[in-house]
Chain A
Amino acid sequence: MTTATAPTAVPTTTKNPLSATGGGVINRRRGRIATVIMAVLAVVWLFPLLWALYNSFREYSYTQTNGYLSFGGWTLDNYKDAWDRGNFGLHLKNSLLITIPAVVLTLFLSSLVAFVLARFSYRFNLTLLGVFLAANLLPPQALLIPVFKMFREIPLPTFMSESGTMLNSFWALILVNTAFQLGFCTFVLSNYMKTLPHEIYESAELDGASVWRQYWQLTMPLVRPALAALATLQVTWIYNEFFWATVLISRGDKYPVTSALNNLRGQFFSDTNLVAAGSIIVALPVLVVFFALQKQFVSGLTLGSTKG
């Protein structure tokens, strides 16, 4: 989460609305104070990241003898070692195989629910939305044991899972991530869909469009901004997910990249510079997704906040 939050602080400082108004002296002074406060906050957020980045380029033996406040001992080996020792190629692939299906499935299922909740008025609409949201409030840790025991009892054919059960399979992680993200996505999407003008649906109805067609060909294109924003958020969240992977997977070669980061720690000894390099590698895909889709991300933060 720190990776996602830190950069958002930066654009806020430059695009400060108060200083941009160019109003009276008080406004300008207030703007300056706000800028200073936000700059300080940004530094506080960014400092650990930059510190890790800085030390990831230094040799452990150098920092060990000279301390972390020193300057020197430059090397790129940490990145190479981290890549090899962490076996990140394999684990990034695992993460990809979990994240993409989970995000697609979450968005598809939640848009279906959201469409019904937004467009049709049943008596249980509000209750249904409430149930979806309530599930969001449950901490996943509280569900650890039931989910684990349930998955242990669900058989899968061996071509889907070597263990013969849901445990130790990507299916389990895709399913569990989808389930946990569904509530939030449904909430956001149904609020967004409610903002679409009702008249469009009336004319669609007159033209004889079926409910499916109203959903797939009318609503989905119109909620694309919301879907893009949610996709960005979901990719970062599911990619960063660590808890379920460690609980449901016990085979070293099946871990997603976040759990595989532990491969860089030994039983007793851990080379912190190496771990820093590994963390940067692991954080990189999230940063790429974030910077590429920054606009959607920021709009995603305020999504659905105007109507609900």
Chain B
Amino acid sequence: MARPAPRESHLAGTLPASVGGFGRRSLLRGALGVGALGAAGMLTACGDDGGSGSGASAKAGNVKFGINEAKGSGPANERLQAMADAYAKKAGVTVSVNAVDHNTFQESITTYLQGSPDDVFTWFAGYRMAQFAEGGQIADVSDVWPLDGIGDAFKKASTAADGKQYFVPVSYYPWAVFHRKSVFEKNGWTQPTTMDELTELMKEMQGKKMTPFAFAAKDAWAPMGTFDILNMRLNGFDFHMALTKGEKTWDSPEVRNVFSTWKTLLPYHQENSLGRTWQEAATSMAKGECGMYLLGTFVVDGVPTEAQEDLDFFTFPALDQTIGADALDAPIDGFCVASGAQDEEAGKAFITWLASAEAADAANNSASAPFIAANSAASTAKYGELQKKSVEVVQNAKSIAQFLDRDTNADLANTVITASLQEFIKKPDSIDSITTSIQQQAKSILG
């Protein structure tokens, strides 16, 4: 496969501008960028006028669209399919959808991208996107940016190490502490806003023979949510990013502090979590055996229908007043253009539209459950209570992390950190040896 161009542009990106110079290539890209800006503006501006939004660079054309939700698998597939259909109708092109189930798609992404990838495919923001950008498997789409209605936090998450964008966001879901409204009402509890209130609440719950936090670690990624939030509350968002990039070490006093804080909280969590899936943990919260559960908004899928309406959430309170509580995990889903794409321009035209409010509305209007659109101009008419609140919470957050396994190297996250967190849950006293071991392995993986 011929991939010299992206590699070269990546190298150029790491060089200072004075060294890299103003080559023909970058000049050309600048020109393209201007063209795309016009195109994007036109696309969003000219509503129903089918297909006329084709500018000089991003010319609409037939696209192959790889999606990570199997056909008939539920609302997520319906939304993506609806977007594909709406675009095909609007631009007068053919969108051939290749639907693969979520886990298979993710696990075979490397062979997918090296084999015969579709022009545009669903992917995740953050490091997971950045590492493909660096490897040259996905195309630079900085010329479609800025996108109307897509804020700065999203732009940051779509930017790779070379400062260019390789991704457009479409939706996100925040992680927070969920609980049943009725349980809180019955006991006269209110959502805690400080750590003292939370501690008091947890003690009161224990007094009522209720486990304060539902907890599951059988799905090895689940405890990362707890680690992330404690890390961001104790050390801040910037530390989280530096740590996941390998700029800070895992055996640093900061990380050890996270683990020792977690250790003091473990007695308030459900026991034997290593044998429990998140669905079982969610069920025990729904049943009232546990008071709260720190998880993503997908928790609603794990509770019976009657409990879904009864759910509410709050963000984890501040642990350190100087750092506050304005960071949270809210993984962003979106789209990339494969560099092996047959028609890169058509792909860019398509993702420009996919990031629009119109696309989000098309998705939400024809699916049985909506997503939370990344585009701020998207209609919120279909949103449920939880989603409306999610929008508010995420808008109030100053920094958005992508979740530990999306923010760092996949090998490190999925083989080292998962096992280490499980080890910690098993033996909370061996923090020193666990953090040292993570650091050694992180060093060999991140280099």
**In the complex, A87→B107 CA distance in Å?**
21
- Contact between A251 and B100 (Cβ–Cβ < 8 Å)? yes
- Contact between A87 and B102 (Cβ–Cβ < 8 Å)? no
Q: Interface segment, A18-26, A229-237, A259-267? A: A259-267
Size bin of chain B's contact surface: 35 or more
Assuming the A-B contacts A65-B283, A250-B108, A268-B298, are A152 and B100 also in contact, with contact meaning beta carbons closer than 8 angstroms in the complex? Answer: no
Chain A residue total in the interface (Cβ 8 A): 31
**In the complex, A65→B279 CA distance in Å?**
11
**In the complex, A134→B240 CA distance in Å?**
50
- Contact between A168 and B73 (Cβ–Cβ < 8 Å)? no
Specify which chain A residues have a CB less than 8 angstroms from the CB of B73 in the assembled complex: 85, 263-264, 266
- Contact between B278 and A252 (Cβ–Cβ < 8 Å)? no
> Who on chain B is nearest to A61 by CB?
B304
Task: Determine if A240 is an interface residue (Cβ-Cβ < 8 Å).
Answer: no
* Cross-interface CB contact of B100 among A164, A247, A252, cutoff 8 Å: A252
- Contact between B115 and A148 (Cβ–Cβ < 8 Å)? yes
The residues in B between 48 and 79 inclusive whose CB is less than 8 angstroms from any CB of A are 66, 68-74, 76
- Contact between B298 and A265 (Cβ–Cβ < 8 Å)? no
- Contact between A65 and B287 (Cβ–Cβ < 8 Å)? yes
Q: Mark B266-290, 1 if CB is under 8 A from A, else 0.
A: 0000000000001100010001000
* Cross-interface CB contact of A268 among B66, B104, B107, B301, cutoff 8 Å: B301
Task: Determine if B322 is an interface residue (Cβ-Cβ < 8 Å).
Answer: no
- Contact between A265 and B101 (Cβ–Cβ < 8 Å)? yes
* Cross-interface CB contact of B301 among A61, A255, A263, A266, cutoff 8 Å: A266
Task: Determine if A64 is an interface residue (Cβ-Cβ < 8 Å).
Answer: yes
Task: Determine if B6 is an interface residue (Cβ-Cβ < 8 Å).
Answer: no
* Cross-interface CB contact of B116 among A84, A165, A253, A270, cutoff 8 Å: A165
Task: Determine if A286 is an interface residue (Cβ-Cβ < 8 Å).
Answer: no
Task: Determine if A167 is an interface residue (Cβ-Cβ < 8 Å).
Answer: yes
Task: Determine if B98 is an interface residue (Cβ-Cβ < 8 Å).
Answer: yes
> Who on chain B is nearest to A164 by CB?
B116
Chain A nearest CB from B403 CB (Å) reads 12
> Who on chain B is nearest to A64 by CB?
B283
Specify which chain B residues have a CB less than 8 angstroms from the CB of A164 in the assembled complex: 116
- Contact between B278 and A262 (Cβ–Cβ < 8 Å)? no
* Cross-interface CB contact of A262 among B71, B104, B112, cutoff 8 Å: B104
Task: Determine if A246 is an interface residue (Cβ-Cβ < 8 Å).
Answer: yes
Assuming the A-B contacts A87-B72, A165-B116, A262-B70, are A252 and B101 also in contact, with contact meaning beta carbons closer than 8 angstroms in the complex? Answer: yes
* Cross-interface CB contact of B102 among A61, A152, A246, A266, cutoff 8 Å: A266
The residues in B between 108 and 163 inclusive whose CB is less than 8 angstroms from any CB of A are 108, 111-112, 114-117
Task: Determine if B35 is an interface residue (Cβ-Cβ < 8 Å).
Answer: no
- Contact between A84 and B302 (Cβ–Cβ < 8 Å)? no
Task: Determine if B103 is an interface residue (Cβ-Cβ < 8 Å).
Answer: yes
Specify which chain B residues have a CB less than 8 angstroms from the CB of A163 in the assembled complex: 115-116
Task: Determine if B393 is an interface residue (Cβ-Cβ < 8 Å).
Answer: no
* Cross-interface CB contact of B279 among A152, A263, A269, cutoff 8 Å: A269
* Cross-interface CB contact of A252 among B98, B103, B111, B298, cutoff 8 Å: B98
Specify which chain A residues have a CB less than 8 angstroms from the CB of B296 in the assembled complex: 268
Task: Determine if B198 is an interface residue (Cβ-Cβ < 8 Å).
Answer: no
**In the complex, A253→B287 CA distance in Å?**
40
The residues in B between 146 and 184 inclusive whose CB is less than 8 angstroms from any CB of A are none
- Contact between A250 and B116 (Cβ–Cβ < 8 Å)? yes
Specify which chain A residues have a CB less than 8 angstroms from the CB of B72 in the assembled complex: 84-85, 87, 263
**In the complex, A12→B364 CA distance in Å?**
58
- Contact between A268 and B278 (Cβ–Cβ < 8 Å)? yes
> Who on chain B is nearest to A268 by CB?
B298
Chain B nearest CB from A177 CB (Å) reads 18
Question: Quick one: which of B68, B73, B305 has the most chain A CB within 10 A?
Answer: B73
- Contact between B298 and A65 (Cβ–Cβ < 8 Å)? no
Specify which chain B residues have a CB less than 8 angstroms from the CB of A252 in the assembled complex: 70-71, 98-101
* Cross-interface CB contact of A152 among B74, B107, B115, cutoff 8 Å: B115
Having A84-B72, A263-B71, one finds 8 other A-B pairs with CB under 8 Å, namely A148-B111, A246-B107, A252-B71, A259-B104, A264-B73, A265-B102, A266-B74, A268-B278
6 smallest A-B Cβ distances: which pairs?
Answer: A263-B70, A269-B301, A163-B116, A252-B100, A252-B99, A267-B102
25 contacts between A and B (CB under 8 A): A61-B304, A65-B283, A85-B70, A87-B71, A87-B72, A152-B115, A165-B115, A165-B116, A168-B116, A246-B107, A246-B108, A250-B66, A250-B98, A250-B116, A251-B98, A252-B98, A262-B103, A263-B70, A263-B71, A263-B101, A266-B74, A267-B68, A267-B103, A268-B302, A269-B279
